[in-house]
Structure 1
Amino acid sequence: MPFQSLLSAIETLKGKIDSLKKQPSGVSDRLLQLSQDVDAIPLISWLASQQTYPRIYWQGRDKVEEVAAIGQCLGFYFEQDVSDQQLAAVYQRQRQLSDNPQFRYYGGLAFDRSLKSWPEFGQARFVLPRVELRRSAEHFSLKLNINLDAANLENELAEALQCLQQIKPARPLMPPHKLALRSRHDLPTFERWQSLVTQVTAPDFNQATPKVVLSRITQLDIHGQADPWMVLACWQGRNPNSFQFGFQFSPEHAFISCSPERLFRRRQRELFTEALAGTTLRGLSDEEDEVLARALLDDDKNKYENQLVREHIVDMLNPLSHYVGADELPRVFKLTHIQHLHRAIRAELKGEINDFDLLQALHPTPAVGGLPRQAAMSFIRDQEGYHRGWYAGACGYFNSLESEFAVAIRSALFEPNRINLFAGAGIVAGSDPHAEWQELENKLATIISILIDF
């Protein structure tokens, strides 16, 4: 039985903690990870069954690895007014605690770090979990992280033991069910959206700022509560070609995302990223799907939008890299309800470049902000009418050997009696307000179909 295997692993880890209490000086590293193999466990179900916070979930787009994590061994959090220098200093200090590539800090950055972000999430928050249940291909392991550099090692070991003791067996997720909708509010409204698109596409503005990514928050006021992990599991099943991740720092708020867009993936000095911009619907048949894909590849507006993103990413990577290569022509990247234009980009990084240098350079991308970056961000900040928080931010993990971050599009923020949905569209010369508004609806179609029965 999976839980018997998990119980056995927990007891083994408890024994290792007891040994540490007797001989704490026997380990030279300042961080220690204890690991024990376990039988296969459904990770989202296990995570939803736990009562320890934070609760964190991550699955990469390639589906090779999956992580469910609870508690906090170490972490850093900035509520507001955080400078790039502050983030870089804390980031480096956390990395210096250990070179062990098994340690991973999970978390995210807000879209606009000049504004106050959501409570609990902040401008930036990263967590080295206390306990991780990690799947690598078909191999499952339970990992316990301990900070031997803690001011009070006795308390640190006691907290680690307590987290183990609070682990619950995985219960089946609640079956999907439609929520009773009390009301829906879109911000900006369509009238305001139409005005914003008109401003961005005006010749004088567009010449200096050729792209602004406008977004919308759709607030669904509901009766009762929704389980964010059940929703993410359903979303995962309908959009298998995406990153899936979630962060829940308290029972009241959870942020989940099923995002197709990679910000970057680093393996030592090798970097992989992409230009993902330009959108159309999927067809109802293979023949219609191919017609729509071909039309997307031939559409000047969408090709221009994707080319702007490609050029910007290459320009930002050039000073950080010995080599940068990018696809000359886009291909079509297919999701359940929509398809995008996609170009792969690869770089060989210079030796001194770290993950925070990459986050500063690449985020926000032109696919979620616009071009030039500062002008587009200023327009969004002043005109969009709400604070995006972690929507369109960067979420992922890092350690000394590797890192991976996704752009948090196609996402939802859960609050008591409310679910906030987010979607955006790139506005360039020739954009039509009605067509772009419909694109927002298309991007939300999957999750709305999970949540609400219209």
Structure 2
Amino acid sequence: MPAHALSEDLKSLIDKLIQMKQVPATEPIVQLSLKTVSIPLISWLASQTLYPRIYWHGRDKVEEVAAIGACKDFKFETGVDDKALASVYEQQRMLSSNPDIRYYGGVAFDRSIESWPEFGNTRFVLPRIEFRRSANQFSLRVNLNFADNNPIDEIDLAIAAIEAVMPARPLAPPNKLTLVSRQDIPDFPHWKTLVEQVIEPKFNQDTPKVVLSRLTELEVNEQVDPWMVLACWQGRNPNSFQFGFQFSPDRTYISCSPERLFRRSQQELFTEALAGTTVRGLNQEEDVALANALLEDNKNSVENQLVRRHIVSMLTPLSQYVGAEEEATIFKLNHIQHLHRAIRAELKPGVSDFQLLQALHPTPAVGGLPRESAMTFIRQREGYMRGWYAGACGYFNKDESEFSVAIRSALIEPGKINLFAGAGIIAGSDPEAEWQELENKLATIMSILIEL
């Protein structure tokens, strides 16, 4: 790695910051940026001492970000309504005209109840220092918040953060962990009861779909490097979003999610219906047969159509045009494959990212239909707090934004790894088959962590 060249770029940023002390800032939020050398971003992130640490890798593989520190950080717990969140969102947009300034963060699955410590129901961060890769071009950025801080003090804080940057060290090789214990919440008997309650005809008539999920708690004695785990996961499922948020040394949320919530470029929006699941085959012939069976399976087809129709109906009031693929295609991952329909919309002028989050999150692929009755069932019966699992994670700025649905994920804490998986329950669902689907969805991360 060209450490010397990177060091020179960091010194160049410090020189620019020193010069800024003599020139008044033109806007409340300012970003300095320069092209830099290529570095291994996950390794660099794991080597830093400044928190938060944030990682983002787009599903299209074009863009990758590693960021540390915070010059602007807003977090909300319970009790904050959508209007207050939208107001804060719009205030942030007004602080700079620079379209490259991004806030990274997430929204919990259910913002009406408590979420994880440090994460909040909603938390977004404007990082202090960012490395961004776009295709093969790398840039180094430093952000300054003159809206809330004295300019000289803010510049000194930025200089100190740059001086504390550590060179990237290779990630430690992965070792299989020794499993002390495993607990599933809900366990299978409770899961079976929940599925039977959802498919009961009277309930199902009013609430045709509920996405039930399970927390799998793995107790381990060894220390776990979340960034090594994410790097391994990335290698197994390269055609997924990969992201991580570490607000302190105690908790890191990582995800290797196949599902896009939405991508916005100006007024053009891309989203999708990703629902309906089967396993991969042991050879190409079996894989094709399983994919064809999935395409022809009525239960999975109905589930995907429910998601597609809901997304189209929620986008229609916000859009001048909404179009969705009529025929499903197959989206393949390492251990499983999904039904997929692409959806595109032309948004009406003035529609904001927060309006899109309100309309689309949580999708029927992680909550159910109708949204409120499914959410009430989950809140009252599932038996654990989802937090950011099945939430929305990504970034926003003036011209573009992208959010992933935070499935296939893990919350890593000292001595414990929390894994999450869900399955859509509709009329005809079988408790044993849906339980096995949860196991299939955990297969990749379990193969990384535990000697099976």
TM-score, normalising length from structure 1? 0.99
Of 405, 415, 433, 1:417 maps to: 415
Three-state SS of the structure 1 residue aligned to 2:250 is: coil
Q: CA deviation at 1:98?
A: 1.1
| 1:294-443 to 2 correspondences below 5 Å | 294-443=292-441
Q: CA deviation at 1:22?
A: 1.8
Matched residue, 2:131: 133
Residue identity opposite 2:2 in structure 1: P
Q: CA deviation at 1:5?
A: 1.5
Matched residue, 1:7: 7
Q: CA deviation at 1:148?
A: 2.6
Q: Is the 8 A contact 1:2 1:38 kept in 2?
A: no
Structure 2: gaps (5+ residues): none
Of 68, 73, 81, 1:83 maps to: 81
Three-state SS of the structure 1 residue aligned to 2:248 is: coil
Alignment partners' CA distance in 1, 2:429 and 2:279? 16
Matched residue, 2:164: 166
Q: CA deviation at 1:152?
A: 1.4
**Which range moves more in the overlay, 30-39 or 167-176?**
30-39
Aligned residue pair count: 452
Matched residue, 2:26: 28
Alignment partners' CA distance in 2, 1:156 and 1:134? 22
Three-state SS of the structure 2 residue aligned to 1:289 is: helix
Matched residue, 2:149: 151
Matched residue, 1:180: 178
Runs of 4+ more than 4 Å apart: none
Alignment partners' CA distance in 1, 2:39 and 2:317? 44
Residue identity opposite 2:101 in structure 1: F
Alignment partners' CA distance in 2, 1:376 and 1:263? 19
Matched residue, 2:256: 258
Residue identity opposite 2:344 in structure 1: R
Matched, 1:110 2:129: no
Three-state SS of the structure 2 residue aligned to 1:249 is: strand
Alignment partners' CA distance in 2, 1:309 and 1:99? 36
Residue identity opposite 2:18 in structure 1: D
Q: CA deviation at 1:200?
A: 0.2
TM-score, normalising length from structure 2? 0.99
Matched residue, 2:229: 231
Matched residue, 2:245: 247
Q: Is the 8 A contact 1:82 1:123 kept in 2?
A: no
Alignment partners' CA distance in 2, 1:149 and 1:126? 17
Structure 1: gaps (5+ residues): none
Matched residue, 2:215: 217
Residue identity opposite 2:184 in structure 1: D
Three-state SS of the structure 2 residue aligned to 1:80 is: coil
Matched residue, 1:16: 16
Percent of residue pairs identical: 67
Alignment partners' CA distance in 1, 2:131 and 2:196? 49
Q: Is the 8 A contact 1:79 1:119 kept in 2?
A: no
Matched residue, 2:287: 289
Q: Residue deviations 1:287-325, cap 9 Å, x none? A: 000000000000000000000000000000000000000
Q: Is the 8 A contact 1:221 1:417 kept in 2?
A: yes
Alignment partners' CA distance in 1, 2:88 and 2:410? 28
Residue identity opposite 1:139 in structure 2: Q
Alignment partners' CA distance in 1, 2:310 and 2:61? 29
